[in-house]
Structure 1
Amino acid sequence: MIIDEPSEVVLAPERRTIDVIPDDERYGSPFSQFTLWFGANMQITAVVDGALAVVFGADALWAILGLLIGNVLGGAVMALHSAQGPRLGLPQMISSRAQFGVFGAVLPLLLVVLMYLGFAATGSVLAGQAVDKILHIDSPTVGIVIFGLLTAFVAVTGYKLIHIVGRIATVFGVIGFTYLAIRLFVEYDVSAVVGVKGFDIATFLLAISLGAGWQLTFGPYVADYSRYLPRSTSARTTFWSTFAGSVIGSQWSMTFGALVAAVAGKAFLSDQVGFVGHLAGPAVVALLIYLVVLVGKLTVNCLNAYGGFMSILTTVTAFNGQTKISAAARAAYIVGFTAVSVVVAVGASADFLNNFKNFVLVLLMVFTPWSAINLTDYYLISKEKVDIPALYDPAARYGRWNVTALSCYVIGVLAQIPFLAQKLYTGPITEQLGGADISWIVGIVLTAALYYPLARRTSNPPASMIYPADPARSTR
């Protein structure tokens, strides 16, 4: 059954934060997940991510195939997180208290905040360039600040407006990137640069890692945008709607990026936003393409600001016991987060491609163990049964710290170090593999293999789902 969206004014600020969404406030259909994640991935940073595989040595054909494999594998993990939203009605990182403990969840949360901040900052660099082109100003700082103000406004308004922006980005993205792809084939001999290099395992695995890393880093906040769906919404439908939107949108953008990097080389590397505007042709059309860039970046940057606010609030409330905050405090958190991301963006715009590649792969190292623990516990240990009131009470079922989960998490992160291929460090096993980075595979498989048998003996899941005000709630 599809429940229509409520009739409240779209620009009215969202009331809910880290508390459970009551059944009478649930609305929408899983298709909203498709448009949100499609729109969030049809954007210039995903184009850059796809270009990186070619920039660092892969043939465009093998890069596209590797990116597809990575997007599918990472997208499946990401969509499994999304499927938790309708059943729990909670932000993703609040639910991770069931695995790590009320205080223990703060460790991955701090890393999540850094992730949101990093993506918000790197995205603001490119979006700021688009703003500069639209307004004909020659100041990267001004463009970044204007984009930051737009991001703060949409994120403060919240969930409903974010979904609307996602729908707009979906339409704009399909039209804009289809046009750009046509122009690319008209202006360049694309066939002459595809399939001209032999298969190289190191760059192929890099492409897979870039695709997987892109998807996996959505995991800590993807359920934030499915939690308003009615509790009766099928987990399978939510999974496929999220998976299809994110994988199709990202692969479309990354494929375009790989082809652009193959044909344009330095012309694209030196000015990514300017290049797509030049590719668009006439000035009027270029202006529309800059708007496509802006709307796509606005969608995903609002997810970063909104998710950053949720993660900071989840960290703070672990220690003060609050479950709700005022509208003014909510706005202050979001504006403060956005302001910091703007400052970082202004200072980090140099050497963007290299910094972004290393940023994505480092994040992959710290979030694959978290995903492995969260999904293993939710689907295999607790079997989708959670004591929601206990998530807010350190003295209840889940306790303050879950030593089992935290130990497996730390081991999962450390075990990846010998397999890393980073600018500052290359692991000894990576050198033996010819530079191929398989750390994320080690992080997922090893962490899940460690956590599952230990959690079966130490966890205490409820016999059935326990929602707030349920007298059946029990504690340790």
Structure 2
Amino acid sequence: MGEGTLSATNEGRQRGVIETRSIDHVPASERHGKPWHQGPFWFTGNFVLVTMVSGFLGPTVGLSLGYACLAIVLGVGFGTFFMAFHANQGPTMGLPQMIQSRAQFGSRGAIVPFTATVFVYVGFIVFDLVLATQALQTVLPGGRWFWYPFLMLVAVVLAVIGHDLLHWVQRWLTPILLVFFGVFTVYAVAHVGSAPEAVESGWTLTGFLIMFSVAAGYQISYSVYVSDYSRYLPTDTPARGVITWTYLGAGASAVWLMCLGALLGTHLEAPDAVGSLVTVGNDLFSGFGTLLVLISVPALLTICAVNSYGAMLTSASAVDGFTPVQPGVRARVTGIGIIAVLSVIIALALPSDYLGSFNNFVLLMLYFLIPWTAVNLADFYLVRRGHYAITEMYNPNGMYGRWAWRGLTAYVVGLLAMIPFMSLSFYVGPAARALDGVDIAFIVGLVVGGGLYVLLTRGLDLTEEAARIEESNRELNGLVSRGLAVPAATDHLGSEL
């Protein structure tokens, strides 16, 4: 990419309405925001009907409400741990989440996790469009051939304007969601919770671990987003603050909505996200349930925009590994537009039984992202400890190379090691069958992927890399002296872990 990616023209440094950056480095002069902003961003980002759908799984796998909620709390707590620790990578390096993966996988090798990541983004956009359309159709006419493109267009506008608008919208939606869903939840617990159970439930180890895995996988899937929305934070942002706020925001909304989904799934016949809210909410007073689903639409649209934004960054990063991409507004609009068209096409082709598709989708996300997050976090916290040569991330012939065999080996071996332990509706591995369908693939992937990467990097010459980091900083400072860029802070890990 050269200086075009790392530098900013005078126009690029101006903070206007539309974000000008895409896969390039964010210099210190453009950093802004506070750690607590990550809290409402991820609270609202997770406070969507798709999250509640995950909770419906508990009763269907034979769990009582109590056991389903316990599995949700433990699964969310486990998965959000990995997600939140990626948040510190943003202020440390000022890079989009997946660009940083080039240090572990190489500029071209990173396309391996990139492919799975784009799959995650597009998958969530599709499910968000489906649920937002169902919500609007409770009061408005029009079929999916109208609503899917229209809603996607709104999300595209939000994504094109970019980072700051997305943060602003999420922050102001948070108190609205808290009030309306708070009232609904109190009523649902008091009245629905006392009704007879619609399904026979209790305890099964298999069901408990399935619910745990889905909750964990749902949260881990956000790992590929995190530093995209923390990369504008100041370079001296304390690690403890940004990690804690990310964890609390994402974890609280996930536990809330998944447990609410488990409650509705336990006591309602054939529950669905929109229908359940309308039915129970309108029992409280006429029109409240309908109002509730309409209030959920803006949150679905903003997370559609967040997914479109992230998919654009990841796709552009993948393309740039093979042919240079000039960052800027044009690249962002083009990438977001392509993702939008692809998402609408897939949404229109989605079968009506999307809940079954969704459960498989979440588990597949868990399988493909577990070895990536294990390798990425092991590299950042255990191997390189936050010290990277930023300019080398954009140099295909540089020290990180095109195909980094250590990261790729650890990822592939970690993924292969998981296969015997996988348990899906269309495939159950031999180890999972031996365990009566219990799925512990995520544990295997974490241990094998992360552990193997640490072992393979024991011979890595970090002394030579430290010298290259200093040289990288001088290069960035040299660009500053010519008015092209500002200093990057590549040596900050955060002293408050």
Coarse TM-score class (shorter-chain normalised): over 0.9
Q: Which residue does 1:154 correspond to in 2?
A: 158
Q: What does residue range 15-34 of structure 1 map to in structure 2 within 5 Å?
A: 15-34=20-39
CA drift at 1:177: 1.6
**Greater shift in the superposed pair: 62-71 or 326-335:** 326-335
CA contact (8 A) 2:36 2:245 kept: yes
CA drift at 1:144: 2.0
Q: Which residue does 1:3 correspond to in 2?
A: none
Unaligned runs of 5+ in 1: 1-5
**Is 2:300 aligned against 1:293?**
no
**Is 2:419 aligned against 1:412?**
no
Among residues 131, 139, 146, which one is paired with 2:136 in the alignment? 131
**Structure 2: distance between partners of 1:194 and 1:214:** 26
CA contact (8 A) 2:22 2:328 kept: no
Identical residues among aligned pairs (%)? 33
Partner SS state of residue 208, structure 1? helix
**Structure 2: distance between partners of 1:83 and 1:329:** 26
CA deviation map 1:390-411 (0-9, x unaligned): 0011111101111111011111
Q: Which residue does 2:375 correspond to in 1?
A: 373
Q: Which residue does 2:209 correspond to in 1?
A: 205
**Structure 1: distance between partners of 2:197 and 2:290:** 29
Q: What does residue range 213-228 of structure 1 map to in structure 2 within 5 Å?
A: 213-228=217-232
**Structure 2: distance between partners of 1:14 and 1:349:** 36
Among residues 100, 104, 112, which one is paired with 2:109 in the alignment? 104
Letter in 2 for 1:20: H
**Is 2:187 aligned against 1:183?**
yes
Letter in 1 for 2:394: Y
Partner SS state of residue 117, structure 2? helix
CA contact (8 A) 1:131 1:146 kept: no
Q: Which residue does 2:365 correspond to in 1?
A: 363
Q: Which residue does 1:316 correspond to in 2?
A: 319
**Is 2:473 aligned against 1:469?**
no
**Structure 2: distance between partners of 1:182 and 1:234:** 36
**Structure 1: distance between partners of 2:135 and 2:286:** 14
**Is 2:88 aligned against 1:83?**
yes
Among residues 230, 247, 251, which one is paired with 1:247 in the alignment? 251
Q: What does residue range 450-469 of structure 1 map to in structure 2 within 5 Å?
A: 450-458=452-460, 460=462, 461-462=465-466, 466-467=472-473, 469=476
CA separation of 1:265 and 1:56: change in aligned 2, threshold 3 A: farther
**Greater shift in the superposed pair: 324-333 or 371-380:** 324-333
CA drift at 1:53: 2.1
Partner SS state of residue 83, structure 2? helix
**Structure 1: distance between partners of 2:204 and 2:216:** 18
Q: Which residue does 2:443 correspond to in 1?
A: 441
**Is 2:53 aligned against 1:48?**
yes
**Greater shift in the superposed pair: 460-469 or 177-186:** 460-469
Partner SS state of residue 457, structure 1? coil
CA drift at 1:207: 1.2
CA drift at 1:8: 5.4
CA drift at 1:195: 12
CA deviation map 1:192-213 (0-9, x unaligned): 5499844311111111101110
CA drift at 1:132: 2.0
In the comparison of the two structures, how many residue pairs are matched?
A: 461
**Structure 1: distance between partners of 2:429 and 2:155:** 38
**Structure 2: distance between partners of 1:283 and 1:318:** 55
**Structure 1: distance between partners of 2:27 and 2:395:** 19
CA deviation map 1:333-361 (0-9, x unaligned): 11221121111112114111100000010
Unaligned runs of 5+ in 2: 1-12, 479-486, 489-497
Q: What does residue range 58-77 of structure 1 map to in structure 2 within 5 Å?
A: 58-77=63-82
CA contact (8 A) 2:195 2:267 kept: no
Q: Which residue does 1:383 correspond to in 2?
A: 385
Partner SS state of residue 458, structure 1? coil
**Structure 2: distance between partners of 1:139 and 1:183:** 32
Partner SS state of residue 416, structure 1? helix
CA contact (8 A) 1:94 1:314 kept: yes
**Is 2:115 aligned against 1:114?**
no
**Structure 1: distance between partners of 2:194 and 2:461:** 55
CA drift at 1:178: 1.2
CA deviation map 1:259-308 (0-9, x unaligned): 01001131x14xx2132122221554234212222022122211110000
CA contact (8 A) 1:75 1:212 kept: yes
CA contact (8 A) 2:53 2:258 kept: yes
CA contact (8 A) 1:131 1:147 kept: no
CA drift at 1:470: 4.7
CA drift at 1:187: 3.9
CA contact (8 A) 1:60 1:194 kept: no
Provide the alpha-carbon RMSD of the alignment.
Answer: 2.2
Letter in 1 for 2:379: D
CA separation of 1:326 and 1:237: change in aligned 2, threshold 3 A: closer
**Structure 2: distance between partners of 1:138 and 1:18:** 37
CA contact (8 A) 1:66 1:204 kept: yes
CA deviation map 1:310-338 (0-9, x unaligned): 0111011112234x434233212112211
Q: Which residue does 1:422 correspond to in 2?
A: 424
CA drift at 1:170: 1.3
Partner SS state of residue 19, structure 1? coil
Partner SS state of residue 386, structure 2? coil
CA drift at 1:106: 1.1
CA drift at 1:376: 0.4
**Structure 2: distance between partners of 1:345 and 1:74:** 27
Q: Which residue does 2:6 correspond to in 1?
A: none
